[in-house]
Structure 1
Amino acid sequence: MTSHTVLIVDDEPDIRDLLEITLARMGVATLTAPDLTTARQLLSAHQPQLCLTDMNLPDGCGIDLVHWIQQHAPATPVAVITAYGSMETAIEALKAGAFDFVSKPVELARLRELVNSALKLSEPGPQASAEQDEPGLLLGQSPQIRKLRAQTRKLARSQAPVFICGESGSGKELVARMIHLQGPRRDGPFVAVNCGAIPSELMESEFFGHKKGSFTGAVENKDGLFRSADGGTLFLDEVADLPLAMQVKLLRAIQEKAVRPVGDTREIPVDIRVLSATHKNLPKLVQEGGFRQDLFYRINVIELAVPPLRERPEDIEILAEHILQRIADEYECPPASLTPDAVERLKAYDFPGNVRELENILERAFTLCDNDRISAKDLHLGNGAQDAMAGTAGTGNPLPAPPSSLPDGEIDLENYLESIERQAIERALEATRWNKTAAAKRLGISFRALRYRLKKLGME
């Protein structure tokens, strides 16, 4: 690390000495400045790999220096040292573009984590080509998607919490992964959790872990999601679905950077970056009392909007080609292509389900098309349930009775349709002595469609 240099800006000699000694033990060279004026001069002359600045300086404020660095030395990450408990000031600094913050009295372990993380930004890696518009996980050439990629590259250079908003299926988790992969935590874990999928009674254990024997069924120690993401990124998807009681505990864990497992008496430090997302209107939920305002401000330091697919129709063909290639690879079949009328039909469609809906449409069309060409009629837009039953008609076999395991006469449509498909395929295969080509003809579908469905249903 001897090639790294850190600029320390603080008007208190004792603080400067403490930080210099700590960094020297890490093998990092230091420069020091007692005020903003000296700091600007040193930044212009030396281009350090990190700037550590106090908030209160004789000739201005640390946030002033953050703004100056953003304009004149954007390659240098800057971390601010805030007074204890001044979370509002820390959030203001993060919004201004600070990489991270550390509170007084400075915990040296936390400082070392921050410095190590910031110095990774100067190492060769995905973030080094910040000016290049590499698609990565976010495919497309529309102005909206180019802007989104530029935003993810910039946000990857910060540790600020990011709130990703957008409609269902628009790719919020992909955006979170891009931020993670382009930042200094890229070698650490990326842990994604759907907050709406965890039963409320298990949430605390799932997030913070538990000690063996702390409750019935706790037969061994469990780390929990926060500790699993230590050194990396925790992505909280559908964060609006968290119950209020859990929101309080989540806020404390984020602010204190520590968790207390269920049944434990001690807090365990965690080093994570929190990214969150929802398709719901979170500000409206805050106004209605369904989401805590203090937690909203804590996770919404920076807001990033993901555009819906209907606002970038020029990206649809690129996405479709990628999806069809992936489907072909997965099912070991030749890739299908879209006819011009299919492309136009997709571009004219509204896509309420966004990219996830496009994937479903193409997956279905892939099984129905002839000669590896998907036409507009193969897309069957808007007829999902009807299309799911296509290929089972005309076999001469009665449909199985709907499952009666659900209450009040409800049926599990997905499992019901799957059982129809499974039985029809089994009967066709038995009737043709497991000749797949003949069975496909008997079912009125292509050989590729049968092969796809056998793999999907686990019948190979």
Structure 2
Amino acid sequence: MSPRQKVLIVDDEPDIRELLEITLGRMKLDTFSARNLGEAQALLGRETFDLCLTDMRLPDGTGLELVQHIQQRYPQVPVAMITAYGSLETAINALKAGAFDFLTKPVDLTRLRELVTSALRLPAPGGASTAIDRRLLGESLPMRNLRKQIDKLARSQAPVYISGESGSGKELVARLIHEQGPRAGRPFIPVNCGAIPSELMESEFFGHRKGSFSGAIEDNPGLFQAAHGGTLFLDEVADLPLAMQVKLLRAIQEKAVRAVGGQQETVVNVRILCATHKDLDAEVSAERFRQDLYYRLNVIELRVPPLRERRDDIETLANHVLKRLAAGTGYPAAKLHPQALEALKSYRFPGNVRELENMLERAHTLCENKQIEAGDLRLAEGNCAAEAGVPDLTRIDNLEDYLENVERKLILQALEETRWNRTAAAQRLNLSFRSMRYRLKKLGLD
């Protein structure tokens, strides 16, 4: 019979301590109680705990001090903060300091049991590293740091804002945070906010009831309900219209959603991860993104480095892509000529890893004798469009053809980055959908 897991409860109010002790006892957990910071630190020195629940205000200090103490000396112990209702800033500070999650008073027992169950499922610190290493390739310093941060953030329930350029791997990072954390067995729901028409957004996020609008022939759950117990990944969150930002903020604050046409709210338990290739600070300054929503989403920021900041990883990534392309064909993977590798390392990669994958797939198909030469990569043309530099006029025979070629490359890049969603690609290029359709037809891309 395995020993029962132990939880440390820190609160100076006897009624709260008793409530927590009874609830956790019914969950077959052993509890130890402390009335203040000093008693808690003494117990931590004598016993090994699997979880700590602490009030924010203690007679001889704060719960934040206890979070920091545990982070430094007992990093394997998750800590959940109990705060007064409305003390959101306090809770956010606790999450930034390393707390697993927080509860508000009066304590909701259903929410308490969910939190405790999740915290006790956490892997040991560093336990996720091997899986992350296999999925997130590269041994450059930026990538080693990124893997460490993912491992740490997987042990938290804090909202994370993943910043980075298009094609740098933000969705992969979000999946790794989800898969290495306590929600791993629950749904991971990714949504491209820029790909949903504005008139359908509320229904998509919160669901709708039968008959609530024309075409609503049956009840339909939304993305929040689909992600219940798991993670909702909001990609390109900066593309949300302001009206939807208000509704999203309320759903995050209340942890509940109301379907379109519904009368009652549904409680949802989701972890929010978000990403965008835009500068979210600049979007807030330009009043295109609500500051209050920004603070709720950007509790912790995780930056994914662009490929040009980790050129030492290009060879590893390229060989991995070429092996994947050859898998199942019965033929060996194509090899990169040394000059082709040097050409890749000197290229800026505005499209990052996604651009590298697309480039190698094309070269793999066109190369001779399973060897990719520098010319097979077609980097000169790519650099001209990608870096938006001054073109070499001696190489332009026809200006209209040249501009049409640049336009075609930019539209194709936007389509690839939005997974061939024409509405989202048009938004990325600041075109109306009608203009986008016209250009696709004109360029023979429809």
Instruction: Specify if TM > 0.5.
Output: yes
Which residue matches 1:366?
364
For residue 324 of structure 1, what is the aligned residue in structure 2?
322
Report the counterpart of residue 150 of structure 2 in structure 1: 152
- Aligned-partner residue type, residue 338 of structure 1: L
| Structure 2, gaps ≥5 residues long | 383-404, 410-432
1:138 aligns with 2:139: no
Aligned mates of 2:235, 2:435 — CA distance in 1: 30
2:419 is matched with which residue?
none
Alignment of 1:80-159 (within 5 A): 80-122=81-123, 129=127, 134-159=132-157
State the identity %: 63
Question: Residue 416 of structure 1 corresponds to which residue in structure 2?
Answer: 444
Describe how 1:241-256 pairs up with structure 2 within 5 A: 241-256=239-254
2:47 matches 1:50: no
- 1:347 equivalenced with 2:345 (yes/no): yes
C-alpha distance in structure 2 between counterparts of 1:318 and 1:344, whole Å: 13
- Aligned twin of 1:212: 210
Give the letter aligned to residue 411 of structure 1. Answer: R
Task: Name the amino acid aligned to 1:410.
Answer: Y
Task: For residues 409-452 of structure 1, give each alpha carbon's deviation from its aligned partner in whole angstroms, at most 9, with x where no partner exists.
Answer: 9331698258xxxxxxxxxxxxxxxxxxxxxxxxxxxxxxxxxx
* Aligned counterpart, 2:192: 194
Separation in 2 of the partners of 1:411 and 1:138?
Answer: 37
Alignment RMSD (CA, Å): 2.2
1:288-317 Cα distance to aligned partner (Å, 9 max, x none): 111000000000000011111001001001
Deviation at 1:29, TM superposition (A): 1.1
Say whether the 8 Å CA contact 1:206–1:225 is kept in structure 2: yes
Change (3 A) 1:334 1:212: farther
Instruction: Say if 1:67 and 1:96, in contact at 8 Å, map to a contact too.
Output: yes
In structure 1, distance between residues paired with 2:242 and 2:445: 38
Q: Deviation per CA, 1:376-424: give whole Å up to 9, x if none.
A: 11111143669x99xxxxxxxxxxxxxxx96699331698258xxxxxx
Aligned pair in 2 of structure 1 residues 413, 378: CA closer, same or farther (>3 Å)?
A: farther
SS class of match (1:102):
strand
* Gap change, CA 1:26 and 1:143, over 3 Å in 2: same
Distance 2:140 2:442 in 1: 35
Deviation at 1:325, TM superposition (A): 2.0
Map of 2:25 onto structure 1: 24
Matches within 5 A, 1:278-289: 278-289=276-287
| 1:86 shift after superposition | 1.2
Asked if structure 2 preserves the Cα contact closer than 8 Å seen for 1:232 and 1:273, the reply is yes
Q: Which amino acid aligns with 2:83?
A: T
Q: Structure 1 residues 409 and 42, CA, compared in 2 at 3 Å: closer, same or farther?
A: closer
Secondary structure of the residue that 2:135 maps to in structure 1? coil
Gaps of 5+ in 1: 390-404, 419-460
Q: Secondary structure at the match of 1:297?
A: helix
**How far apart, CA to CA, are the structure 2 residues paired with 1:108 and 1:414?**
61
Aligned-partner SS, 1:121: coil
In 2 relative to 1, CA 25–373 (structure 1 residues): closer, same or farther, beyond 3 Å? same
Structure number with greater Rg is 1
Q: Contact between 1:168 and 1:353, CA under 8 Å: does it hold in 2?
A: yes
- SS for the counterpart of 2:138 is coil
Residue 337 of structure 1: CA displacement?
1.9
Distance, in Å, in 2 between the alignment partners of 1:108 and 1:302 is 27
Mapped contact 1:406–1:412 kept (Cα < 8 A):
no
User: 1:275, 1:416 → 2: CA distance?
Assistant: 38
Please give the alpha-carbon distance, in whole angstroms, between the structure 2 residues aligned to 1:329 and 1:414. Answer: 37
1:172 paired with 2:200, answer: no
Q: Give the aligned partner of residue 64 of structure 1.
A: 65
Q: Which amino acid aligns with 1:43?
A: L
Equivalent residue letter for 2:72: Q
Distance 1:167 1:10 in 2: 45
Measured against aligned partners, the alpha-carbon deviations of 1:247-296 in whole angstroms (never above 9, x if no partner) come to 01101111111111111111111111100011111111111111000000
Letter of the 2:127 partner, please give it.
S
Given the alignment of the two structures, is residue 77 of structure 1 paired with residue 78 of structure 2, yes or no?
yes
SS in structure 2 of the partner of residue 192 of structure 1: strand
**Deviation of the 1:206 alpha carbon:** 0.5
Match of 1:336 in 2: 334
Task: Please say if residues 133 and 149 of structure 1, whose CA atoms lie closer than 8 Å, have aligned partners that are also in contact.
Answer: no
Tell me, what secondary structure is at the counterpart of 1:20? helix
Distance 1:225 1:409 in 2: 29
Q: Is the CA contact (8 Å cut-off) linking 1:54 and 1:62 kept in structure 2?
A: yes
Which letter does structure 1 place at the counterpart of 2:54?
T
**CA offset digits 1:207-238 (Å, max 9, x no partner):** 11111111111111111111111111110000
Rounded Cα–Cα distance in structure 1 between residues aligned with 2:193 and 2:15: 45
What's the offset of the Cα at 1:122? 4.7
User: Any idea what the Cα deviations from partners look like across 1:362-384, whole Å, max 9, x if unmatched?
Assistant: 11101100111111111111436
TM-score, length-scaled by structure 2:
0.85
**2:215 is paired with a residue of what secondary structure?**
coil
- Map of 1:452 onto structure 2: none
